[in-house]
Structure 1
Amino acid sequence: MKNIVFDPKAFKQFNQWAIEEKKLYKKIVDLIDDILRHPFSGIGKPEPLKHQLKGYWSRRINDEHRLVYKITETEIIIISCKFHYD
């Protein structure tokens, strides 16, 4: 199983969701769980990103927010879970 690693900014966003909006927090937890099983398919409409974020993927949390992550051999690196490709 891969380790889940949060960029410090993403970890702060994740914790903010836990306090401010529990429904979206739960959705993020569900997305991360699905990424562990299916890194490039599944819920949240996964899509590869381009340009400066090439190599990263995003999944929809809702219409406004995206979970942005990268998969390595050993880790899932989450760099954002608020807004679009921030």
Structure 2
Amino acid sequence: MSQRSNGEPLPNSEEVSWRLVYTKQAQKDAKKLASSNLKEKAEELLVVLKKNPFQNSPPYEKLVGDLSGAYSRRINIQHRLVYEVIESEQVVKIIRMWTHYE
């Protein structure tokens, strides 16, 4: 069974649907992805996040520093999908979809 970040079990994934919200920067990044042939890979990750943002396949990293509290998943070797989970609202906030090294 999948778990929340605090170790509590999540309900059956068919019952849970997380709402995705996008920052303005993430919306701009989506346009870059579309023009760089990475849109499909990013969309696959978004489907995973909508079902369960703590699913560990594909793997994710907990970020530190300025992005402490956020998570990151690889779109490709260079670009990351960076997001924050607001468990109390069942929301996944997409922060970046290009690179978080800029």
What range is the shorter-chain TM-score in?
Answer: 0.7 to 0.9
Structure 2 gaps, min length 5: 1-16
Aligned length: 83
Identity of aligned residues (%): 34
Cα distance per residue 1:30-50 (max 9 Å; x no partner)? 00111222312121x201001
Structure 1 gaps, min length 5: none
Among 85, 92, 95, the alignment partner of 1:76 is 92
**Residue type of the alignment partner of 2:36:** E
TM-score, normalization: structure 2? 0.73
Gap change, CA 1:2 and 1:37, over 3 Å in 2: closer
Aligned residues: CA RMSD: 1.4
Q: Identify the structure with the greater helix proportion.
A: 1
CA–CA distance in 1 between the matches of 2:51 and 2:73?
14
Give the corresponding residue for 1:13: 29
Larger Rg: 1 or 2?
2
Give the corresponding residue for 1:39: 53
- Residues 49 and 56 of structure 1 are in contact (CA less than 8 Å); yes or no, is this contact kept in structure 2? yes
CA–CA distance in 2 between the matches of 1:70 and 1:85?
17
